[in-house]
Structure 1
Amino acid sequence: MAAELSPIDKAKFVAARRAVDFVSDGMKLGLGTGSTAAWMVRCLGERIREEGLRVTGVPTSRRTAELARQVGVPIQTLDEAKWLDLTIDGADEIDTQLNLIKGGGAALLQEKIVATASDQMIVIADAAKEVAHLGAFPLPIEVIPFGWRTTMALVEETLVSLDVLNRECTLRMTGDRPLVTDESNYIIDLHLKRIGNPRQLALVLNQIPGVVENGLFIDICDIVVIGQGDGRVTVRDINSGSETEGRVDLTPNDNIFADLGD
């Protein structure tokens, strides 16, 4: 029930519910990964059940695919869909230009492929994700396991000449083992604290042998939906320059909460 959710979960939920208002019948949708995106998938499933909405989702991770199946969202692969109308996903940080850091959920590679294969990307988040400058959240990069230590050393050497505040890099672990992505790669987190030139950094990182992709999403997000714990929602459109305020009701009998399994 809504009353049992924390303020941060309420903020994620209202952002997700507002974002699915952008979904129209017949759309092919990219389905993001992470706690906020999971709310979106549940809200989408609710619309399918209650309104008969007909959509097809392309999940960005195995766990998103499993959740979509659980709540009744039809899915297919990106190769089957070919091109998407809209991707809705969360973010770890959002700056004033709607540039993003993503990858906290270790799905940045599929997320970036899906987002760039879409006519439009909507990012959903709570207000804490908005920042003046990217970099406080560690920037993930996906690397192949072969020679990962060498790759990390090359990254650290490259960072010396770039506009960042810190250059510490760490391999992301699960217990005592490296985390392995859906593509069987590793994640290295760059603890930069502040990124002065995100566009330059994104381009340079992807030139380093062993780096598959980085978590900087530059010029990809079109709309951001920011939720608050009291139900307030702000929608910012980078293309039109518009900003609108609204509110999403949080009612105790919302059917969406019946889908919660985590």
Structure 2
Amino acid sequence: MSGELSPIDKAKFVAAKRAADYVEDGMRVGLGTGSTAAWLVRCIGEMVRNDGLRIKGVPTSTRTAELARDVGIDVISLDEAKWLDLTIDGADEFDGDLNLIKGGGGALLQEKIVATASDQMIVIADVGKEVETLGAFPLPVEVIPFGWQTTQALVEETLISMDVLGRSSSLRMNGARPFVTDEGNHILDLYLNRIGNARQLSLVLNQMPGVVENGLFIDICDAVVIGYGDGRVEVRDINQGTIEQDRLDFVETDNLFTDLAD
């Protein structure tokens, strides 16, 4: 299976495979949402089936919960877990300080709650997600459905005083209807191009009535595992100030995921 992967999927897979090394027996682990996080869930599922790994998984979306159960992970809620040893999740962008933009998959609220309820957060990403300055990826902002157009207007007006290059936004759609999060909310995508002061923007957005949460993850990520299409992996730990490099070999006959649909 691995030999059939595209370079981008190889990068996601090796990042997920390397990050799975952080998971130890008996842990309570937050499981992220998105294509890269899905590889991680599958890798952990293999460890559960083949190595007897015993963990409690706390998913950040219904999609992740379904996949985790399919691969044999014992799924519990955050309320049952109380606190987590580790959360591993993807990111839409990350900068040199390991600040993130997340929410491209629409699960930013649960992802942020789970990540901040963890002793450690590890981000897994392909190298294309690294940026010098956040903002090229549209910033998701979760808003309640009531008065969302008024909230959108207030957000755009507030952006005038923020250090950003773009100030337009759009309601995320799912076909002909507004996208609805697991919590029953909508998402506004902000096209900012460049965010000069992510910390300030995050605080201002979250003070606005109608805004539930935004996709800026500031001072939450502890380490990032970066995958490359040729199998190389780089691990940057911001707390220890270390950078480690490795390479994972692909086995052309590897059937790790042949029983699962993408």
**Normalised by the size of structure 1, how large is the TM-score?**
0.99
Match of 2:196 in 1: 196
Measured in 1, the distance between the counterparts of 2:155 and 2:259 equals 42
The residue number in structure 2 matching 1:76 is: 76
Tell me the distance in 2 between the aligned counterparts of 1:109 and 1:47. 28
SS at match of 2:236: strand
| Residue identity (%) | 74
Per-residue deviation, 1:254: 2.3
What is the CA distance between 1:252 and its match in structure 2? 1.9
Code of the aligned partner of 2:23 = V
The 8 Å contact of residues 127 and 227 in structure 1, kept in 2 or not, is answered as yes
**CA deviation vs aligned residue, 1:40-92 (integer Å, no higher than 9, x gap):** 00000001111101101000000000000111111100000000000000000
Which amino acid is the alignment partner of residue 20 of structure 1?
A
Deviation of 1:249 (Å)? 1.6
Partner of 2:173: 173
- Partner of residue 186, structure 2: 186
Give the alignment's TM-score, normalised by structure 2: 0.99
The alignment status of 1:148 with 2:148, answered yes or no, reads yes
Counterpart of 1:258 in structure 2 is 258
Aligned to 1:237: 237
Matched to 2:143, the amino acid is V
Please report how far the alpha carbon of residue 257 of structure 1 lies from its aligned counterpart in structure 2 after TM superposition. 2.1
Q: SS in structure 2 opposite 1:15?
A: helix
Higher mean C-alpha displacement, 118-127 vs 247-256 = 247-256
C-alpha distance in 2, partners of 1:111/1:259? 27
Q: Secondary structure at the match of 1:162?
A: coil
Instruction: Look up the match of 1:127.
Output: 127
Distance 1:182 1:245 in 2: 37
Alpha-carbon contact 1:46-1:255 (below 8 Å) kept: no
Shift of residue 158, structure 1, vs aligned partner: 0.4
1:25 corresponds in structure 2 to: 25
Cα distance in 1 for residues equivalent to 2:64 and 2:255: 20
Question: What do you get for the CA RMSD once the two structures are aligned?
Answer: 0.6
Please state how far the C-alpha of 1:146 moved relative to its aligned partner: 0.1
Instruction: For residue 253 of structure 1, report the CA deviation from its aligned partner.
Output: 2.6
The amino acid across from 2:209 in the alignment is P
SS of residue paired to 1:213 = strand
Task: State the partner residue of 1:45.
Answer: 45
Give the whole-Å Cα distance in 1 for the aligned partners of 2:159 and 2:82. 36
| Contact preservation (8 Å) 1:85, 1:120 | yes
**Which runs of 5 or more residues in structure 1 are unaligned?**
none
Gapped regions of structure 2 (runs ≥ 5): none
Aligned length: 262
Question: 2: CA distance between counterparts of 1:232 and 1:60?
Answer: 28
Which amino acid counterpart does residue 48 of structure 2 have in structure 1? I
Equivalent position SS for 2:163: coil
Q: Is the 8 A contact 1:71 1:259 kept in 2?
A: no
Describe the SS at the equivalent of 2:132.
coil
* 2:229 partner letter: G
